[in-house]
Amino acid sequence: MARFSLANKNIVVVGMGLTGLSCVQFLLAQGAKVTAMDSRNELSIAVNVPLYLGAFDATKLCAADLVVLSPGVSAQTPAILQALAAGVSVIGDIELFARFNTLPVIAITGSNGKSTVTHLVVEMCQAAGMKVLMGGNIGVPALDLLNKDADIVVLELSSFQLETTQSLKPLAATILNFCDDHLDRHGDMQNYQRIKHLIYKHAQYVVASRDEKATQPLNRDVDLTFGLSASNSGFSWDKTTATILFQGQAFLSSQDCLLVGAHNMLNIQAAAALAMLAGVHVEAIKQGAKLFGGLAHRCQTVSMHNNVRWINDSKATNVGATQAAILGMLESCQGRLVLIAGGEGKGADFSPLAELLEHSVDLLITLGKDGDKIARLKQGSVKVSSLEQAVKVAADYAQAKDIVMLSPACASLDMFNNYQHRGECFIKAVQEVSL
């Protein structure tokens, strides 16, 4: 049963993106009197309520019974601050969801890895035969998940969503990690972390990194930890055997997983901890971890033909992303590492890649507008004119236990429509050499 009634309430929805539109439809279904606002001067979509474009009207906001703020709109916007000062309640779609939801929720946030962990938890729950709903900051807006037939809801949550959320009561919640992010909106790292920690406020169980103290709640214990450090408690990592441990005992070998890299071993640990606390059986957790191959174009295993792992990391459109991908591979690569890189460099300095290319990459294959600049960083590099040719060269070189990774460190527009198109062409070329 709903905790409060929205019927005949004067409610303003601010921001007409996907989430805002979802809020409008939900509120209308609840019998509310809805007004919409958007800072843009024109919209290409139809909104079936009174719509005000451009600068937000503080007078209308101050006269509302409730303001529902889309994640893309800062609560520090002057007109929103005026409404708050006038005593108007300002919430987001996750807060609305929390007040009407009746299903158990697994809630996931962090600076990096949120989407991967969310998908992993879904895979694990599905392997256990559970009916699972997924949404929030990924895919489906949370309000669209209400009143669906399911056993559990898995939500990816951003800091923008959490800062307007007070009532969410997750069955299990985690902050995966922290790095400088969204400080232009949140002001400083301390405030950013404070907002993220709201996910723990009413959580029944907490999962946090053992190696990153900032992810751990201040005023309560962590129920399960994860990390790359040694531990006889929670989930940990044995580098020598490339195995995930639980309570100090072997739990899952990385060789049985499609996901690769140290960062993904952490993602699997976090997802396993969340699923375990939600009552998912251990065998289903392991099965889900083994089956999930990663998000499209993001360190995604696309083939294991002849025991050669082919990885599509087309989304690595800058030097930092490719550095992270290479470092991630080193933990799990038992053979040689082949890197395909190059494209539109956007004026980037490729020299930070030099040491990794020299000492960690066995064969470098380059292509595209700035491929030559990358090739000069490693002796013996092979320059090709197409992605198909790159894949053929890699296939002729690779042998069992090797990894071949497309991680361009460049944008794609010199040769492809976008990074997705580049990744799709890579997958097709790999399929052709795997026949």
Give catalytic status of residue 182 as yes or no: yes
292 neighbors 285 (Cβ within 8 angstroms): no
Which residue(s) pair with 4 in the sheet? Answer: none
Q: How many residues in total does the chain contain?
A: 435
Give catalytic status of residue 137 as yes or no: yes
Q: What is the DSSP letter of 140?
A: B
Rounded to whole angstroms, the Cα distance separating 72 from 296 reads: 24
CA neighbor of 67 nearest in space, from 18, 25, 98, 27: 27
Q: Which of 101, 114, 264, 378 is catalytic?
A: 114
Rounded to whole angstroms, the Cα distance separating 337 from 133 reads: 37
Q: Which of 9, 33, 60, 182 is catalytic?
A: 182
Residues 6+ apart with CB under 8 A from 254: 242, 243, 244, 260, 265, 331, 332
Q: Which of 101, 137, 177, 267 is catalytic?
A: 137
Give catalytic status of residue 114 as yes or no: yes
97 neighbors 143 (Cβ within 8 angstroms): yes
Q: Report how far Cα 63 is from the mean position of its chain's Cα atoms.
A: 37
**DSSP three-state, residue 188:** coil
Which residues are marked as active site? 114, 137, 182
